[in-house]
Structure 1
Amino acid sequence: MNEALRIVVVAPDLAIADPHDEHAVLQAERSRALRIGLLENNFNLVATLPADVFLSERIAQLQPDLIIVDAESEARDALEHVVMATRDERRPIVMFTNDEDTSHVKDAVAAGVSAYIVAGLAPQRIRPILDVAMARFQHEQALRAELADAKTELKDRKTIDRAKGLLMQRQGLTEQAAYEKLRKTAMDKGLKLADVAQRMLDVMDLLG
């Protein structure tokens, strides 16, 4: 993994209001251990942010390569904030938690989490965890791109077929002649064949 990988950690404040609150102390220690582990593994920790209404704006400004959510069961809203903050520009998300209730894993993965780690903060585990998360995210992005391309290609083919059908019907052309007419127009205007077909359909709709 690239050492310059820009990472943002979304986590609660490390400040402890009640030093006798054992749960808060343990959570703060775990969160601190995560950040130290990232630095020890030479990752570029650009910021630690609270999960609040300003998270989307801060992530947009920082443009991290990967987001780590450090959360306990009572802080699940942190994940919701992160998912909302990355819905327009997807990024790999890794969630670290000590909550052993795995009922949340399915929802977390469906929401876009690349890795869901329970009690996995040993420093030697951080790098392989993030490596796998990045690889999985890149694979999923490639699959999404392939699916989007396939949908676009199918839509374009249907548009071209509709335009050919109209030309055949209204100008008495053969299918090959209709295709060649669309193709020539696209080449003359420097446009994609599907774009020419769609423009022709739009004009036909206007003319009735």
Structure 2
Amino acid sequence: MQRQRARSRDLRIGLLQAGYNVVASIPGDIYLVERLTQLQPDLIIIDAESDARDVLEDLVMVSRDAPRPIVLFTEEGTPSQLEAAMSAGVSAYVVAGLQVERVKPVLEVAVARFNADQKLRTELSETKNKLAERKIIDRAKGILMEKHHLSENDAYQKLRKQAMEKNLKLVDLAQRILDVADLLG
């Protein structure tokens, strides 16, 4: 307990020296999710004993709706604890040896890692959306090709021309074609 108090003190000193504003210091109790939701901090720092599983489960809920960098400082770290922390969205997992002068670099790396991860997630989501749109357009082309005996290129050009004339996105027009085709059977 005394070790954790010393670590908490060093952490607070390191944060203040690094120019961070400590918005709140809250316990990992049943109200953690509610408090974090109200505070909406830019960065979550956890100073935990060896078993922080309950806190990690709460962080999964908080991070799902409003992702943000999370840094976990602890005295012990097993591979299963590390895996659970990463699954919960922890950006940096620091085991033992907290020195005041290390706080700022650790937080900077955690924020950079979080930002890189968010960028990858955004790119993945955009790619998935584009693939889904491509499938819709391809299915609409297939309908036009079959119904009007068009080549793939001609079906695409027809879709494109209609989309421009109706001031619609190509995917929106394609979806309308699919909807009509489903309706008419």
Q: Structure 2 length as normaliser, TM-score? A: 0.89
Whether contact under 8 Å (1:69, 1:79) holds in the other structure is no
Moved more, 129-138 or 139-148: 139-148
Whether contact under 8 Å (1:51, 1:82) holds in the other structure is no
For 1:43 and 1:163, the matched residues in 2 are separated by 54
For 1:196 and 1:53, the matched residues in 2 are separated by 49
Match of residue 159 from structure 1: 136
Match of residue 166 from structure 2: 189
Which residue identity does 2:173 align to in structure 1?
V
Q: How many residues align?
A: 185
Aligned partner of residue 36 in structure 2, secondary structure: helix
Whether contact under 8 Å (1:56, 1:86) holds in the other structure is no
Match of residue 151 from structure 2: 174
Match of residue 118 from structure 1: 95
Aligned residue among 40, 52, 61 for 2:29: 52
Shift of 1:100: 4.3
Shift of 1:140: 1.2
Greater share of strand: 1
Match of residue 60 from structure 2: 83
Give runs of aligned pairs for residues 84-163 of structure 1, distance below 5 A.
84-163=61-140
For 2:170 and 2:27, the matched residues in 1 are separated by 49
Match of residue 14 from structure 1: none
For 1:123 and 1:88, the matched residues in 2 are separated by 32
Instruction: Give unmatched runs, 5+ long, in structure 2.
Output: none
Identity %: 58
For 2:26 and 2:163, the matched residues in 1 are separated by 50
Shift of 1:161: 0.8
Shift of 1:129: 0.4
Which residue identity does 2:158 align to in structure 1?
K
Greater share of helix: 2
Which residue identity does 1:200 align to in structure 2?
I
Instruction: Give unmatched runs, 5+ long, in structure 1.
Output: 1-23
Give runs of aligned pairs for residues 23-62 of structure 1, distance below 5 A.
24-62=1-39
Q: C-alpha offsets along residues 95-115 of structure 1, whole Å, 9 cap, x if unaligned?
A: 000124444112212321111
For 2:94 and 2:3, the matched residues in 1 are separated by 17
1:67 lines up with 2:56 in the alignment: no
Match of residue 8 from structure 1: none
